[in-house]
Structure 1
């Protein structure tokens, strides 16, 4: 019982210290996004009016600015905007002409699905392939995987996406070129969505796998030289038990940290993949918001993404502590 109380205390200390870092980071991110929006030459009143701004009288536009308080001092505007965010009011999307909360709610699930499935594929493939490459260091499999990983690292993800569409969608016709459902579909089915996600998930997984694969390969190769692994071999344990039960288990600890630190790049890659494959996720909407100077939508997506990354890093730290009871993260 005492050990459990100690563990709970350590976990709460980690959460408290991570929150002490997360709050300033989110505040700085919000201030930066607000500063970018304030520096934009786009008139929010004219943007809100759209094409009608050309025929709307200056008095009406001035009244809109007064209602929104865009002529108030910047500190006053920021305090009002931040207060609305804290109350859950994310504002109005000027490019989508609907509440920002509705835009995010309708699209966040697809982005999470893409990233979640991709991460699962990357972890499974990199753990298996990296472990086998480490076990056969210098062999044909090891050299081939490393050469392929280095080659993929030099390829932009949008290039991989376009090449996949050209070969497997337009050339062979095996998979759709974009979207989540067929044009003639009257609803959304799991099979149809899965078929449409094959290419996006594969492209995003291939673009992210080299980092994980090379890391696993080097970590397992180092673990194979540890004393406890050599002792397991000396006891005559089967090779697969030594490899997966001892060497890989030790290498998984730093691998957990890599997952948390690499999440921002995975999110960034999903933006490009969603755009190329015309997926209705937050990535494509972010690009549209940036091109359309939709500050409320872009700011909300940026803040939510930052919060998710911070939460993932916290989860990684806690998972690292749970995986190795000897480790105690103090900050």
Structure 2
């Protein structure tokens, strides 16, 4: 009897189209989520107590007729469905409305505040990610050592502290060593280096506050992920090949343990754009967080809606990027 001919499996087809479908599905889901955010933000902020027209007339003597005229001018006397349609139409044309308090366009205000927030929270996030991953890797590789116990304990304490309370505590402890408010002094010379040093000096306390309450998440997630990989067969095989312990950790264990941390990192990168409302408020840092707080105090409905869309949109975009990055980092995702 002759052996049956070997049938070789045909190469997998449609890999490119499968990737395109995956990307299209993620982008489509992001657009649906963003649309839900727009709807939720519009109707949710209408439940906040307070009359927007009172915000516009704060500090002025106006009668009921003038308030009614202002309400009609800005469309707040219209049916809620009609107001929503006007708002969505403006968003589609890039118009987020005009702030009731600042009397300027919401897009212009957000554009001015994005820079300081990216500088402060972006720097803090970068340091927190680096510190958290390093401590998590070192602690997991030396499990139950004095270093592991001490670093994990300190991280848990920092994570449990409210950001605003820690910020005020640091301001009291440091005294006049670092500025506790604003972004720069008005008396600083206008040259680049003087301005840069002044901004860096003002960033110390808010940066320390953000790092202390954020880095623990990266440390604990990285530590847990690496502990799960410690006894894996591929690490035993790598050691059997004669690799040193640090090579096993750097080349094999850490890359696999990083995967769960990627999503967390991208979520926080999305939150960089929104800022830390409490920290920016405590230190009077002129970013999106302080702008959101001022809008809530109004209430300034157009400004609240604009900051909410930016906040949610940044998180949604970073979630999509994290899903797409998984295709690059994890071969199992590409094969599925």
Q: TM-score if structure 2 supplies the norm length?
A: 0.87
- Cα RMSD of the aligned pairs, angstroms, is 2.5
Match of 2:15 in 1: 6
Match of 2:81 in 1: 75
Please say if residues 165 and 177 of structure 1, whose CA atoms lie closer than 8 Å, have aligned partners that are also in contact: yes
Please say if residues 317 and 329 of structure 1, whose CA atoms lie closer than 8 Å, have aligned partners that are also in contact: no
CA–CA separation in structure 1 for the residues paired with 2:19 and 2:314: 19
Match of 1:182 in 2: 185
Change (3 A) 1:155 1:42: closer
What secondary structure, in the 3-state scheme, does the structure 1 residue paired with 2:258 have? helix
Match of 1:92 in 2: 98
Match of 2:8 in 1: none
* Shift of residue 16, structure 1, vs aligned partner: 2.1
- Higher fraction of helix: 1
Q: How does 1:216-227 map to 2 (within 5 A)?
A: 216-227=222-233
CA–CA separation in structure 2 for the residues paired with 1:269 and 1:93: 19
CA–CA separation in structure 2 for the residues paired with 1:269 and 1:72: 33
CA–CA separation in structure 1 for the residues paired with 2:73 and 2:30: 33
Q: Number of aligned pairs?
A: 323
Residue 311 (1) aligns with residue 314 (2): no
Q: TM-score if structure 1 supplies the norm length?
A: 0.88
What secondary structure, in the 3-state scheme, does the structure 1 residue paired with 2:81 have? helix
Change (3 A) 1:126 1:42: closer
Change (3 A) 1:167 1:51: closer
* Shift of residue 4, structure 1, vs aligned partner: 12
CA–CA separation in structure 1 for the residues paired with 2:13 and 2:280: 44
Q: How does 1:102-121 map to 2 (within 5 A)?
A: 102-121=108-127
Please say if residues 114 and 270 of structure 1, whose CA atoms lie closer than 8 Å, have aligned partners that are also in contact: no
Structure of greater Rg: 2
Residue 28 (1) aligns with residue 28 (2): no
Deviation track 1:86-118 (CA, whole Å, cap 9, x = no partner) reads: 111111111222211111011011112222212
CA–CA separation in structure 2 for the residues paired with 1:324 and 1:133: 24
